[in-house]
Amino acid sequence: MSNESPEQGSNAGYAVPDETGHFGRYGGRFVAETLMHALDELDDLYRELKDDPAFRDELADDLRRYVGRPTPLYFAERFTEAVGGPRIYLKREDLNHTGAHKVNNTVGQALLAKRMGKPRLIAETGAGQHGVATATVAARLGLKCDVYMGSEDIKRQSLNVYRMKLLGARVIPVTSGSRTLKDAMNEAMRDWVTNVDDTHYIIGTVAGPHPYPMMVRDFQSIIGTETRAQCLQDLGRLPDVLVACVGGGSNAIGLFYPFIADQQVRLVGVEAGGLGIETGRHAAPLAAGVPGVLHGNRTYLMEDDDGQIIETHSISAGLDYPGVGPEHSYLKDIGRAEYASVTDDEALNAFRQLTRIEGIMPALESSHALAWVQREGPAMDRDICLVINLSGRGDKDILTVAELDGIEL
Amino acid sequence: MSRIEGRLSELRNAGRKALVTFITAGDPNVDASVPALHALVRGGADILELGMPFSDPEAEGPSIQRSSERALAGGITLRRMFDMVAAFRTEDAATPVVLMGYLNALERTGYPEFVEQAHGAGVDGLIIVNLPPEEAQPLKQLTDRCDMNLIFMVAPTTTEERMQLIVEQAGGFVYYVSLKGVTGANHLRPDSIPDQVAALRRHTNHPIMIGFGIKDAAAARSVSRYGDGVVVGSVLVDTMADLADDPTAIPVALQNQIAEFRAALDSD
């Protein structure tokens, strides 16, 4: 591991967000007045603790002994041969405790909740990975935990729902709107407004009002910090291309952030193209959205001519969100990162191929990043080193895949 | 002086409390709103808030969430909402109308275009729930130019430092949110209000309207003592929802319901 703290990348010259949480025109803090003071308090505490050696040691220790970090950087030899292009490495976030990168953030925010003395955690979840990661840290610290989840997502992620219940959390079905991740986030905000005195809201991605996009990025940047050190050690140089799926965008920003100042490293975020961008049935606001304000920040959104948020579609519940973290909007506009999309079918093919030839079953979310490499990799030079963030494991998705295969389990 | 400021100053001079009402534009259908607004005025409303339906109303309780869903299903658009206000104005040039909703409608339309259309239709003020004063300068510059009031909220969690920041920007009145929670919540505790409103009084001469969770005339009467008026919303929206299948009955029902609130406020 490098000497840098997990929270900080190596980013001289890249200084967003500003004091008020703005990434250029994006980000900020657009919430009801009732929450403003709680956000101020959270911001103050986080700024104080992020550079506090005792806090950093405690976090690093939790990440090592409880989460199982560092995660390996794995050379996927047979996947590399199958793609027939760059040398492909997988950053194995699927090997984290609870099976995805989400726990990097919940461990950090749980420490904040403990310092604030708040006995109750709430979270929103789509695929259930963030809900499981929140329920996990709540169980460990003896905190009460309520997880909001769209009733549609509860259907397609029943395994994770049961995991959360086993961990002692209450899973509250959300039946408003499209009954998916965005509606779960609305309901979590309503809960927080009502219970702000004794409750900490652990937002699971790099969205929401300031300081969440910054704070979640910092906690997730352990992914890129480790990747950087591992590349320097294993390859003797930095990678050429980084690829990650983007829903809210926390695993992508976690990988990208420590490389942003390394202009030679190409950063590729892959959105959920659903049934195809041209059909309108997708979850790719960076590809087909416009800037607007939702869930506390300004960012690219999928909406109609009146600014009503429109329903999204993705085979992957974790990517099924009409917005995206504001820092991705900023990175898109300044041209530092590029954003592409792959369809449900392409992601499924990648899921099957990686499972069969590497013995690694990826989450459907992460399969979007793999699918982009399958599609674009053959045109790349063979001496290119490419890292894919394998952000989660696919066990939670087997019911979805089995159903598509016509198999009832 | 804006129409809101004029109305509130008349009430203050007369020693009366203001009655502010909220209904959602286009709920339960596009044709229901203008007759409903007139009925509220006949029943004794002083200021009319018209909710701008949004797909993701994150500060609203179930009543107003569902009213947004009904209105959107019924085909409400921003254009139709402005047309409603303009239609209301042809018969009522006196009662202030305030649009209340979420910022994304303005982000999409463009702030200058939105303010111009609202002003042109006869709108007197805006309450944008998710626009705190820190982010409000660009909009405030536009509303100031046409004598439209940008109205801000103060919550039970607002510190005195923030109160000062808010009142410096506030136009028309200050909206005191009477509970920690969403609109229409069931846990209003009137005894928690006086201290916070007294603190707010030390920072501003603006009239203070108290709202959220005021369910009946008795609650309105007890809460109104601490401020200059009350805001009533979810219970009116519930009345309209109950009559969604018989919309012609809505105006009379609203008029009678709000008349009870009026009588209670005037009884002190």
- Nearest CB among A28, A193, A196 relative to B182 is that of A193
In one-letter notation, the amino acid at residue A219 is F
> Which ranges of B92-148 does DSSP label H, i.e. alpha helix?
104-109, 111-121, 137-145
Predicted pLDDT of residue A178: 85
CB count within 10 Å of CB B86 equals 15
The Cα–Cα gap between B151 and A339 comes to 39
Output the CA–CA distances (angstroms, integers) from residue B216 to A27, B186, B191, B250, B264, in the order listed: 40, 12, 16, 18, 10
A193 and B181 within 8 Å at the Cβ level: the answer is yes
**Looking at chain B, how many residues does it have?**
268
Of A290, A280, A295, A403, nearest to A348 by C-alpha is: A403
**A401 phi and psi, to 5 degrees?**
-70, -40
B77 by DSSP, 3-state: which?
coil
Confidence category of residue A7, pLDDT binned at 50, 70, 90:
very low
Beta strands A87-92 and A73-75 are antiparallel
The Cα–Cα gap between B75 and A308 comes to 12
Residue of B nearest to A174 (CA): B62
In one-letter notation, the amino acid at residue A359 is G
Task: Say whether pLDDT at A9 is over 60.
Answer: no
Query: What is the rounded average pLDDT for all residues in chain A?
Result: 95
Render pLDDT for A168-190 as a digit per residue (tens, 0 to 9): 999 999 998 889 899 999 999 99
Predicted pLDDT of residue A10: 58
A227 within 8 A of A255, measured Cβ to Cβ:
yes
Confidence category of residue A1, pLDDT binned at 50, 70, 90:
very low
The nearest CA of chain B is from the CA of A260 a distance in Å of 28
Active site residue A391: yes
A333 within 8 A of A303, measured Cβ to Cβ:
no
Render pLDDT for A138-171 as a digit per residue (tens, 0 to 9): 999 999 999 999 998 998 788 999 999 999 999 9
Predicted pLDDT of residue A155: 86
Q: Identify each DSSP E strand in A37-180 by its residue range.
A: 73-75, 87-92, 120-125, 144-150, 170-174
B65 vs A contacts (CB less than 8 Å): 176
Q: What is the pLDDT averaged over residues A21-48?
A: 97
- Nearest CB among A32, A186, A291 relative to B56 is that of A186
- Nearest CB among B56, B108, B155 relative to A182 is that of B56
Chain Cα centroid distance, residue B11: 17
The token duo for B248 is 């012609």
B47 within 8 A of B18, measured Cβ to Cβ:
yes
The Cα–Cα gap between A233 and A227 comes to 10
Q: Which residues pair with B97 in a beta bridge?
A: B48
Contacts of A257-260 with CB under 8 Å at 24 or more apart are A257/A9, A257/A11, A257/A217, A257/A220, A257/A221, A257/A224, A258/A4, A258/A9, A258/A10, A258/A11, A258/A221, A258/A224, A258/A225, A258/A227, A258/A228, A259/A9, A259/A224, A259/A228, A260/A9, A260/A11, A260/A14, A260/A331, A260/A336
Give the burial class of B205: count Cβ atoms within 10 A of its Cβ; 0-12 exposed, 13-18 middle, 19 or more buried: exposed
> Which ranges of B2-61 does DSSP label H, i.e. alpha helix?
3-14, 33-43
Residue of B nearest to A189 (CA): B58
Find the helix or strand (DSSP H, E) in which A345 lies: helix A344-358
Q: What is the pLDDT averaged over residues A232-253?
A: 98
Kindly compute the dihedral angle of the four CA atoms of residues A21, A27, A33, A37, in this order, to the nearest 10 degrees: -30
Q: Does A292 touch chain B (CB under 8 A)?
A: yes
Of B267, B256, B218, nearest to B45 by C-alpha is: B256
- Answer yes or no: is the ipTM higher than 0.85: yes
B103 vs A contacts (CB less than 8 Å): 30, 293
A33 vs B contacts (CB less than 8 Å): 132, 152-155, 157-158, 162, 166, 177
Residues 243-282 of A with CB under 8 A from B: none
pTM of the model: 0.97
In one-letter notation, the amino acid at residue A125 is T
Find the helix or strand (DSSP H, E) in which B152 lies: strand B149-154
Choose the catalytic residue: A5, A10, A91, A102.
A102
The Cα–Cα gap between B43 and B47 comes to 12
Predicted pLDDT of residue A11: 76
Predicted pLDDT of residue A13: 80
A239 within 8 A of A89, measured Cβ to Cβ:
yes
Task: Say whether pLDDT at A205 is over 60.
Answer: yes
A339 by DSSP, 3-state: which?
strand
Active site residue A102: yes
CB count within 10 Å of CB A62 equals 19
pLDDT lower than 50: segments of chain B:
none
**In chain A, what are the helix, strand and coil shares in percent, each to the nearest 5?**
50, 20, 35
B105 vs A contacts (CB less than 8 Å): 306-307
Output the furthest CA–CA distance in chain A (Å, rounded).
56
